[in-house]
Amino acid sequence: MSNVVSLGLPRRLDLAERQTVLIGNFACNRRSPDDVFWLKENAEVLNVLASSGAMLPESALTPYRRVYDGLDERLRFFPQYYRFLLSICLDLEDLGLGSGKGTELCRWVAKMGLVEAELSDLQRAEAQRLLKRRGVGSEDVMLTERLHRFINRSETFTLPNKKAAYELTHIVFYLSDYGLVDPHLEDAAIASLEFAGLLAYLDQDIDLLAEICVAMRFAGKRPSAIWEDWIAQEMGGFVLKADGPKGSDAYHEYLVTCWWAQFADRPSFPGEACSTGLYVARHAARKGPLRAMSEYMFHLGPARSNDWSQMRAAMTDAVGQDGEDILSGAEQSSDRFDAFFESFARADV
């Protein structure tokens, strides 16, 4: 006679099962495939899964079959979205749905010269990386030089500028082919990543900091344990619901932190989504001291100093108790903090 009592508790879904439910929601329940934001969201979720080597059952990709089969027609009618469409096609194939279409579409994009319509070097780099995934085109050496020149200017990343910081991370993603090759970053570019990471941590920006930590790993560098422990802690604040208020949710923060967790060997994709809808909520995080730091330094005027040892006490008073804890963590997280502050202070300009 058995003494084991079944409590009837629901079985916890494994990682592949949770990912399957997740992509089913992105494919079918959040937006229509005719919506450009559907393209954006699905390109992001498929890229997260493909670049982290997700092992999915064949049935997981079934919701994308109709989209995949119609990509030829969709690309020809909407060439302005070619980067989204190519990304979706190539990631679906790499995850196990279909084959051959990606090469065909890459060749068509090259033939039509769609990359020549890009004004941004970042978008050109993304397009070049997409085409090279199927052996189409060759490296634009001058483009690569310009990308390195941008990320090597470390002082750019000592000032709050999220657009520049996200461009920095994405350049590293493209140069490294999402961690598959050595991006050959110089020490100045590593400093850029650390400076951008300090700003993101001081701002308590989990989305940007997770991207920076992934970029550092792609560059062969270990991110600060203080940063990564904070990201892991904050991941407990995500809540997956069947629906929620209209408008944007925290889906991108959820995706990028789960992506980071895959490379950092941390628990990933927390929570279990309902199969009939997905709304990602997140508990409010502490407010970072970055804004208070900037305002304090600005109002000091000529009295500000770029010497952190001289400014530490006054800055600690300016940011309050919560800000002090975060500021102290930032200081301990990087050997480059003094160099970061020297430029952040703008005392000599």
Quick one: 143 and 99 in the same domain?
no
Domain, as residue range, for 151: 139-285
SS (H, E, C) 316-347: HHHHHHHHHHHHHHHHHHCCCHHHHHHHHHCC
Element (H, E) at 168: helix 162-175
Give the model's pLDDT for residue 12: 60
Cβ–Cβ < 8 Å for 238, 285: no
CB atoms within 10 A of CB 349: 6
For 266-294, the pLDDT digits (tens) are 999 999 999 999 999 999 888 999 999 99
Same domain as 121, residue 167: no
pLDDT above 80 (res 264): yes
State pLDDT tens for residues 295-319: 999 999 999 999 999 999 999 999 9
Q: Both 97 and 24 in a single domain?
A: yes
Q: Do 83 and 186 belong together in one domain? A: no
Residue with tokens 């050109």: 124
Domain-embedded: residue 38:
yes
Task: Report the domain count for the chain.
Answer: 3
The per-residue b/e assignment along 26-47, b for 16 or more CB within 10 angstroms, e otherwise, is: bbbbbbeeeeeebbebbbbbbb
Distances in whole angstroms, Cα of residue 332 to Cα of each of 172, 222, 295: 25, 15, 23
Average pLDDT on 254-264 reads 98
Q: Kindly report, residue by residue over 317-333, the tens digit of the pLDDT.
A: 999 988 999 999 999 99
**127 and 76 in a common domain:** yes
For residues 259-271, give the mean pLDDT.
96
Residue 58 forms part of a structural domain: yes
Residues 227 and 213 sit within 8 Å (Cβ to Cβ) = yes
Instruction: Look at residues 101, 135, 169 and tell me which one is the last residue of a structural domain.
Output: 135
> Is pLDDT above 50 for 255?
yes
Q: How many CB atoms lie within 10 A of CB 104?
A: 14
Rounded Cα–Cα distance for residues 97 and 137 (Å): 24
Same domain for 277 and 143: yes
Q: pTM for this one?
A: 0.94
Q: Are residues 207 and 262 in the same domain?
A: yes
Say if residues 105 and 75 touch (Cβ distance below 8 Å). Answer: yes
Give the residues across from 262 on adjacent strands: none
How many C-beta atoms surround the C-beta of residue 8 within 10 A? Answer: 5
Is residue 83 domain-shared with residue 120, that is, in the same domain? yes
One domain, residues 27 and 60 = yes
Model confidence over 197-244: pLDDT tens digits? Answer: 999 999 999 999 999 999 999 999 999 999 999 999 999 999 999 999
1 pLDDT more than 70: no
Residue 242 inside a domain? The answer is yes
Look up residue 81 and give its DSSP letter. G
Rounded CA-CA distance 114/118 in Å is 8
Task: Examine the fold and report which residue of 135, 165, 190 is the final residue of a domain before the chain moves on.
Answer: 135
Judge if 155 and 273 occupy the same domain. Answer: yes
The answer as to whether 3 is a domain residue is no
